[in-house]
Structure 1
Amino acid sequence: MPEELDIRGCYIGDLLSNVMAQAQPGDLWLTVMTNPNIVAVTQLLGLAGIVILEGHKPMDEALERAGKEGIMIFSSNDSAYTLAGRLQAMGI
């Protein structure tokens, strides 16, 4: 796993087809989705990582796949709006 993430932007979305069409490599993905498909999409697109919002926790299978693939998954109790504001204030 990387010690630092190279975050170039942020994408907020819960519909996989939209994420696949709109997210850019290096984006940090903010979502409420918790299933293993989030890992596959993150790897496919070269996203910086995943933040699961509103206190949701990733499924065990998602964590296992993320560990194998070197994908970082974080959890936050914040809403997408709140966390996006914080990230923007940090320059992301």
Structure 2
Amino acid sequence: MTVKELAKQYPLTVLSEEGLDNVVEGGYAGDLLSFVMAHAKEHMVWLTIQGHINSVAVASLVGVSAIILTEKSMPTPDMLEKAKENAIPILTTPLTSFNLAYLLGRDGMLGGEG
């Protein structure tokens, strides 16, 4: 599945389109950047409320396919700019990380460990 396909099937709003063809093979939910660096894996989507530029640095380091900002969190302008440079799509949703992860898992949309 791609980020674009995921965005069409769930209540997600695309805020940064670069990288929408990135492959999604799992997911990770968390807000503590050090935990994300240690536990998220390449090609996962990352569910978080952290809408700042440091999140893009972590996502780039890990190789996540997209950052999904939950609970109506919005990115800072510098986060959007850095995400575009790194082809990491930024999406947002009104759902909590728990609720979105539940829906994705229930529907079998995310493989892997997430």
Q: Same fold (TM over 0.5)?
A: yes
TM-score where L is the length of structure 2: 0.76
Between the two proteins, the alignment pairs up a number of residues equal to: 92
Superposition pairs for residues 11-90 of structure 1, below 5 Å?
11-88=28-105, 89-90=107-108
Percent identity of paired positions between Structure 1 and Structure 2: 34
Q: C-alpha separation between the residues in 2 aligned to 1:56 and 1:90?
A: 25
Distance 2:108 2:74 in 1: 24
**Unmatched segments (≥5 aa) in structure 1:** none
Runs of 4 or more off by more than 4 Å in structure 1?
none
Code of the residue aligned with 2:109 in structure 1: it is G
Amino acid at match of 1:71: I
Deviation at 1:26, TM superposition (A): 0.8
Deviations 1:7-58 (A, max 9, x none): 1111000001000000011110000001101111111111011000000100
Question: Is contact 2:20-2:89 (8 Å) kept?
Answer: no
Matched, 1:91 2:103: no
Write the letter of the residue equivalent to 1:65: K
Q: Give, as a single letter, the amino acid of the residue that structure 2 aligns with 1:80.
A: S
> Which ranges in structure 2 are unaligned for 5 or more consecutive residues?
1-17
Cα deviation for residue 81 of structure 1 reads: 1.3
Q: Which has the higher contact order (CA 8 A, sep 6+)?
A: 2
Report the RMSD for the aligned CA atoms in angstroms.
Answer: 1.1
